Structures are given as structure tokens and as C-alpha cells.
């Protein structure tokens, strides 16, 4: 039985719910862009992206005593050009590995901050959470960039193909010790996670003997950084001499399958294909992956009714499209257009991850960032976002372990784990810093156009996108819809209006007059008009303290 599609009204509330889950935040511009479209039109648009982002660039320098100097680090890469596909000189006076890795981390954050209106960033992060690596464990900028691009390329693609590519990828071979897995010294690390975390799930039925047999199948894959004695960009190679060519027998869970050992140059790939054939013959794979999608986009808890009405139909759709190149696009489309997704019990029920909270906040408020021409400042301010999200509890490039972030798998708390007594002040603190102020640069950047920049939200421009910002009641109502998932009471709205927009006055005209005067002439001498930008900043600064801001 297929999953039940949503046939109810698709108005402002439904659109905002969809965009909050599909994007990082939901700005007035996002709402305006999709306004008037049907549900299927919006989801089709969210699942349409054909181009890849420009690669990370060299925006880093080295201080040589007289100030920053780009030529003092990674001299083969021109300042402002990409370092991707340029071999690192690790024997240089300044090893460029760390600067490149930081460049990758901040670039990846910038793509989230400046995301297009589609699902690419959310799905890329989903797959990275599902099959993560940690940047400072892999510690190879080229492999990290390639791995991120793999997640992007396959984000709507075929799951089996993604698993196959991940299995052979240098970043994963490094992270889970696959490059050390040889016939003489088998390493079970990746084989165990392939079953437990990536395809079948804990308790699905595989055995420890299955893990050992799978590890033997996966022997012989290596990372190469030299070719004919010369350094090259890291790549994966199969070494037949390190491969276990014996037969591998699996348990009754896998129907006592025997994978025949294959010698020679094709042995690794041939046996990997047989291993994946065996794994993907199990229906548990389809159920496991759609549960992961559900917990990412809908809610952590999956009860019996949800299992029957949502998980099973989506799992069947997954299996029906097993060979389709757009398998995951089909499944995600069905989930986001389902009646269940728009049920009242799953709206505004998720605690926002730190990325959703802060990046979404910045996008919703229209926080300005330096231009591409000011690339040194741009990367610096993306770095500010990266570290702030980490301070709030989510290291975007280094999940705590190979299982990903605990909020997506730890029963029964799930997303509630994003907030505790230590993290709540951090979450509120980063919101406050970016609301009341913003990032800045001093006079030290090498690039002149990146010096002495200050960025902050223009709240007058923000509310200027509202339907009627001169009406204090309408302004507060739209501000609450912008910042909060759950609705707030009229009492709260009235208090915000009186305390901030009316400055304790009783007449709505106080705000209307001040706002209109300011819009006509921001430099006019009227005291109330001159306070308009500060009043708005104070009001939004107060609103971030509400519990509702943490839900979507």
C-alpha cells in the first residue's frame, strides 16, 4: 500500500512547516519565492538542483613577521584560487594541510549559510551524519573535499551506489581503518559499521561471524598519495596481494551465502559487488534507511502506527526503485508530500539542531556577509558561524562518533538531546551575539577590501518585507511566525508590542507614526523615528529568549 498523499489545504502554515524542515530557516524571501505554488510544485523545486557549488579557495595567509603573506603558505595556489586538484607540498616550511582543511570546513558552512532554495544542503548533511568521517582524523583536505562532493552528487541518487562508493572512498578507508585491512591482519571496523550503522541496523540479525567474513571480503583497498615516485592527489587503489582470496561463508540470516574468493586485479570489486548483493537482498535495509530519513525530517519517535502507515510504504517504494538512479529523490518526495508529514502532531515538535537554529536564524533575519570579492573576510565570517554552531553543540565536520549525532539515533530522547543545562545558555548566547551584533574584521587581513568590515542585521529592511510593518500588531504577528515554529499567545504578542514598539505607550499610532517618519527620512530629527532601528533590534533580541525559538 503506498503512503497516503497530503490532500489538505496548502497555505502559509503548511508552506512554512515544509520549508523549515527542508531548508535552514525560512526567510520572508523564501516564503515569497514559493508563494502560490502547489505542494508538489514546491517539493519538485526543492528536489531540483543540477549544478555543483564552486570549490573552496585559498583565503588563508601566514604571518611572517611583517603581517600576513599568502605566498608564505601553499605558494603553488594563487590567493583567491581553489586549492582543489593541486598537490600539497607537505615538506614545505609551512605545511598547507591544516589551512586547507579549515578552508574546507568554512566553505562547507558557507554553502549552508548561502544555500540555494533546495534540499541539497540538508540532504548532504543527512548523508554525512549517516556515514560520517571526522576532519581531524582523516586530516587530508583533498579526501575530505572529495567525500563531501560524493555526498552532494549522490544526495538524491541510488543508495546502493552511494554505499559502494563510500566503501571504496579514501576518507572512509582512513577513518574506519579500511586501508589497514589485509589478509595478514584483518580489520573489522568498517565491516561492522557497514552492517550496524550504514545498511541494516543494530539487532537486525547479522552475527559476529558475518562481520569477520565481510572484513575478509573488504581486504586489499589502499590509499595512494604517490605515483611513479611523485606526489599526487590521494586516490584509492586495490592491492591484490593484500586481499583474502579464500571463500567467505555467512550466517543463516544471509541464507548461508558463500562469497567465492576472487584473485587478481578485479577481486576486490567482484567480492564487494557480491557482498552488497547479499546485503541489499535483505528488506531490513529499506526499513532502516527510511527510518533514518524520517528521524531527520519528521520526528525521532516512530510508533507502531507510523511504522505501518509511513515506514513500510516508504520502504516498499525504496525497494521498488532499487535500481533507479534517482531512488532517494523518489522516496524523499513521497515523504515530504505525505499526509503524515503535515499532521498536526508532527508540526513544531522537533528541537532544532544547532545548525538549524543558528544558520536558520541568520538566513531568516537576512544577516549580510562579505561578497565573493571580499573572500578573505567571507571565509573569516563563515568560520565564526562554524565555531558558533559547534559552541551550541554540533561540530559540523566532526560528529562525535561513526554513528553520527546522538540526537538522530539515541532512544528515547532523540532531538531533546540538543538541549541540556549546559547547551541551552550556549544556544541562546550565540543567537544573542548574532542578533545584537555580528562578525567584524579589523585592519589585519591581507586583502584590503576585507579590512575593517562590520556586519549586522538590518532590521528595518527585514520588517520592510512584511505585509504591513507600520501596523504594530501585524509586525509582531509576522515576527513571531518568522522566528517561532509553535504559535505564541496573543498576550505575549501584546506584551512585545507594548514594551518595544510602543515603548510603553497605549496607542498603536506611536509606532505607526515613528516608523513612517523613519521610512520617509531616516535622518529626520524626530526622537521616536530615530529609535526605530534600535527598537526593532531590542524586540527581536528579546524574542530569541523564548522557548519556542528552539522548535520547528
Rounded CA separation 335/312 (Å): 12
Tell me if the bond preceding 412 is cis, omega within 30° of 0.
Answer: yes
Helix or strand run (H / E) with residue 224: strand 221-227
In sequence order, the 6+-apart residues with CB closer than 8 A to the CB of 433 are 388
Q: Which residues pair with 221 in a beta bridge?
A: 238
Output the pLDDT for position 64.
Answer: 84
Report angle CA 10, 472, 455 to the nearest 5 degrees.
85
> Closest Cα to residue 528, out of 539, 541, 512, 552?
512
Please write the tens of the pLDDT for every residue from 180-228.
999 999 999 999 999 999 999 999 999 999 999 999 999 999 999 999 8
Rounded CA separation 94/117 (Å): 39
SS3 helix, strand, coil % of the chain, rounded to 5? 55, 5, 40
Domain boundaries, the chain: 12-49+299-346, 119-281, 459-550
Q: Which residues pair with 222 in a beta bridge?
A: 237
Please write the tens of the pLDDT for every residue from 351-386.
999 999 999 999 999 999 999 999 999 999 999 999
Mind spelling out the 3-state secondary structure of 387-401? HHHHHCCCCCCCCCC
Alpha helices in 368-508 (DSSP H): 375-391, 423-436, 459-463, 472-483, 490-496
Output the CA torsion sign for 32, 38, 39, 40.
Answer: negative
From first to last of its 552 residues, the chain has per-residue pLDDT tens of 799 999 999 999 999 999 999 999 999 999 999 999 999 999 999 999 988 999 999 999 999 888 899 999 999 999 999 999 999 998 888 999 999 999 999 999 999 999 999 999 999 999 999 999 999 999 999 999 999 999 999 999 999 999 999 999 999 999 999 999 999 999 999 999 999 999 999 999 999 999 999 999 999 999 999 998 899 999 999 999 999 999 999 999 999 999 999 999 999 999 999 999 999 999 999 999 999 999 999 999 999 999 999 999 999 999 999 999 999 999 999 999 999 999 999 999 999 999 999 999 999 999 999 999 999 999 999 999 999 999 999 999 999 999 999 999 999 999 999 999 999 999 999 999 999 999 999 999 999 999 999 999 999 999 999 999 999 999 999 999 999 999 999 999 999 999 999 999 999 999 999 999 999 999 999 999 999 999 999 999 999 999 999 999
Amino acid at each position: 500500500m503506498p503512503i497516503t498523499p497530503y490532500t489538505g489545504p496548502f497555505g502559509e502554515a503548511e508552506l512554512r512547516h515544509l520549508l523549515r524542515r527542508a531548508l535552514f530557516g525560512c526567510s520572508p524571501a523564501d516564503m515569497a519565492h514559493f508563494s502560490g505554488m502547489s505542494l508538489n510544485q514546491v517539493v519538485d523545486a526543492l528536489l531540483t538542483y543540477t549544478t555543483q557549488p564552486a570549490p573552496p579557495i585559498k583565503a588563508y595567509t601566514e604571518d611572517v613577521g611583517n603581517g600576513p603573506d599568502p605566498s608564505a603558505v601553499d605558494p603553488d595556489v594563487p590567493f583567491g584560487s581553489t586549492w582543489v586538484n593541486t598537490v600539497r607540498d607537505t615538506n614545505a616550511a609551512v605545511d598547507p594541510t591544516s589551512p586547507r582543511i579549515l578552508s574546507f570546513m568554512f566553505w562547507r558552512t558557507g554553502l549552508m549559510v548561502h544555500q540555494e532554495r533546495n534540499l541539497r544542503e540538508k540532504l548532504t548533511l543527512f548523508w554525512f551524519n549517516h556515514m560520517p568521517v571526522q576532519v581531524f582524523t582523516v586530516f587530508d583536505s583533498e579526501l575530505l573535499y572529495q567525500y563531501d562532493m560524493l555526498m552532494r552528487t549522490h544526495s538524491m541518487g541510488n543508495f546502493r551506489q552511494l554505499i559502494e562508493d563510500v566503501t571504496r572512498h579514501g576518507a572512509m578507508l582512513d577513518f574506519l581503518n579500511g586501508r589497514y585491512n589485509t589478509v595478514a591482519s584483518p580489520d573489522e571496523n568498517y565491516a561492522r559499521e557497514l552492517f550496524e550503522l550504514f545498511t541494516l541496523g543494530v539487532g537486525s540479525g547479522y552475527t559476529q561471524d558475518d562481520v569477520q567474513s565481510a572484513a575478509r571480503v573488504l581486504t586489499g583497498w589502499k590509499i595512494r598519495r604517490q605515483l611513479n615516485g611523485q606526489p599526487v592527489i590521494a586516490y584509492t587503489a586495490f592491492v591484490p596481494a593484500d586481499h583474502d582470496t579464500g571463500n567467505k561463508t555467512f550466517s543463516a540470516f544471509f541464507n548461508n551465502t558463500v562469497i567465492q574468493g576472487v584473485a587478481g586485479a578485479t577481486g576486490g570489486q567482484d567480492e564487494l559487488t557480491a557482498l552488497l548483493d547479499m546485503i541489499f537482498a535483505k528488506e531490513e535495509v529499506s526499513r532502516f534507511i527510511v527510518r533514518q530519513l524520517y528521524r531527520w525530517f519528521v520526528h525521532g519517535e516512530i510508533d507502531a502506527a507510523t511504522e505501518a502507515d509511513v515506514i513500510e510504504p516508504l520502504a516498499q517504494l525504496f525497494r521498488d526503485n532499487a535500481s533507479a538512479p534517482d531512488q532517494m529523490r523518489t522516496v524523499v518526495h513521497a515523504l515530504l508530500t505525505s499526509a503524515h508529514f503535515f499532521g498536526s502532531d508532527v508540526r513544531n515538535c522537533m528541537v532544532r539542531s544547532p545548525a538549524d537554529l543558528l544558520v536558520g536564524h541568520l538566513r531568516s533575519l537576512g544577516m549580510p556577509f562579505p561578497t565573493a570579492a571580499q573572500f578573505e573576510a567571507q571565509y573569516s565570517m563563515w568560520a565564526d558561524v562554524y565555531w558558533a554552531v559547534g559552541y551550541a553543540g554540533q561540530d559540523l565536520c566532526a560528529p562525535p562518533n561513526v554513528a553520527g549525532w546522538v540526537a538522530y539515533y539515541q532512544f528515547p530522547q532523540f532531538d531533546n538531546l540538543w538541549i541540556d543545562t549546559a547547551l541551552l545558555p550556549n544556544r541562546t548566547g550565540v543567537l544573542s551575539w548574532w542578533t545584537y551584533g555580528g562578525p567584524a574584521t579589523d585592519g589585519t587581513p591581507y586583502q584590503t577590501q576585507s579590512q575593517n568590515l562590520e556586519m549586522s542585521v538590518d532590521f528595518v529592511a527585514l520588517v520592510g518585507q512584511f505585509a504591513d510593518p507600520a501596523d504594530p500588531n501585524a509586525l509582531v504577528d509576522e515576527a513571531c511566525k518568522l522566528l517561532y515554529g509553535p504559535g505564541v499567545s496573543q498576550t505575549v504578542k501584546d506584551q512585545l508590542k507594548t514594551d518595544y514598539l510602543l515603548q510603553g505607550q497605549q496607542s498603536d499610532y506611536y509606532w505607526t507614526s515613528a516608523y513612517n517618519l523613519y521610512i520617509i527620512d531616516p535622518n529626520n530629527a524626530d526622537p521616536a523615528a530615530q529609535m526605530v532601528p534600535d527598537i526593532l533590534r531590542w524586540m527581536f533580541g528579546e524574542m530569541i529568549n523564548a522557548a519556542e525559538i528552539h522548535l520547528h
